[in-house]
Amino acid sequence: MSRFLTGLAALILSAGLANSCAYAQANVQSTGTLVTVSASGEVKHPNDEAHATLMIEEQDKDKAVAASRVNQKMKQGMEIVRREDPTASLKTHGYYTYPDYEDDRNQPRQGNRPRQLVGWRAGQLLEVTTQNLNGLPRTIASAQRVLALNALYFGLTEATARKLEEQRIASAYQNLAERIAAIAKALGKSPSDAVLETLDFDGPTAYVPQRDMRTAKAMAAAPAEIQVEEPSFEPGETSLGMRVVGKVRFK
């Protein structure tokens, strides 16, 4: 009997302590509590702009000959692109000319003998920006008869990105409201007890939208008499996100 009473007393004491802890937790004062809440939102939109990089490189023992061929083919390539896509925006850059030396890495150099110049390399890049995605395969295929495709990526026009700004803000704010409601429930309060004191969109670190990047190793252009088959492209979509940080005080 003594052991039974001792066990019963221990059980009652344990239950009493548990109830006391639960009571203490339920009565933690949260009035006036300031809570920092972060949230995020995201919108997606099909890409509506393409950025293609075309290039040309020539080699010759004569620097002037190499440069002349580059100049001629770049001019031809630009004319092709303008003819196939009059709406495209063109920009040339990255013109280079440098000497090409024999590869003597596997042969020991004799004294201070200088490397032997075997020729010259010349090249140039052409950036093409267009919203004509349906005609892009034809444009690229035609240009590849003279130039080589070096890189290609798809993204959103500035106008489209601006139109999505309102949706980004609404999405982030909705997520913030949902998180505030969840916190209020955990504190045993109503969402109406929450007072938003500050609101910082993009928070301490702004979100950088990721572009759909497609990069291709530059291939030699096809001979002018060969018809290049049209490539296949899938523009994909771009995700635009936004972070928001709010400070909420509970009544």
* DSSP secondary structure code for residue 210 in this structure: B
Element (H, E) at 139: helix 136-143
- Confidence at 228, pLDDT banded by 50, 70, 90: confident
Q: Determine the Cα–Cα distance for residues 221 and 96; give it in Å rounded to an integer.
A: 18
Confidence at residue 224, expressed as pLDDT on a 0 to 100 scale = 55
| Mean pLDDT for the stretch of residues 109-123 | 79
pTM equals 0.69
Q: Do domains 32-48+156-219+235-251 and 50-103+115-155 have the same CATH topology?
A: no
Q: What is the pLDDT of residue 141?
A: 95
Is the domain defined by 32-48+156-219+235-251 classed in CATH 3.30.110? Answer: yes
For residue 242 the two structure tokens come to 């936004």
240 CB contacts (<8 Å, ≥6 apart)?
A: 42, 43, 44, 45, 156, 161, 164, 168, 207, 209
Tell which residue, 133, 102, 118, 128, has the closest CA to residue 231. 133
Region of 240 (left: φ > 0; alpha: ψ -120 to 50; beta: rest) is: beta
Q: Structural domain boundaries of the chain?
A: 32-48+156-219+235-251, 50-103+115-155
The DSSP line for 52-64 is EEEEEEEEESSHH
- The average confidence (pLDDT) of the chain is 81
Joined together, the tokens standing for residue 23 give 């009571």
pLDDT tens digits, one per residue of 9-50: 454 445 554 554 444 445 566 687 888 999 999 999 999 999
User: Could you tell me which CATH number the domain at 50-103+115-155 has?
Assistant: 3.30.70.2970
Provide mean pLDDT across the span 142-156: 95
Average pLDDT over residues 150-163: 93
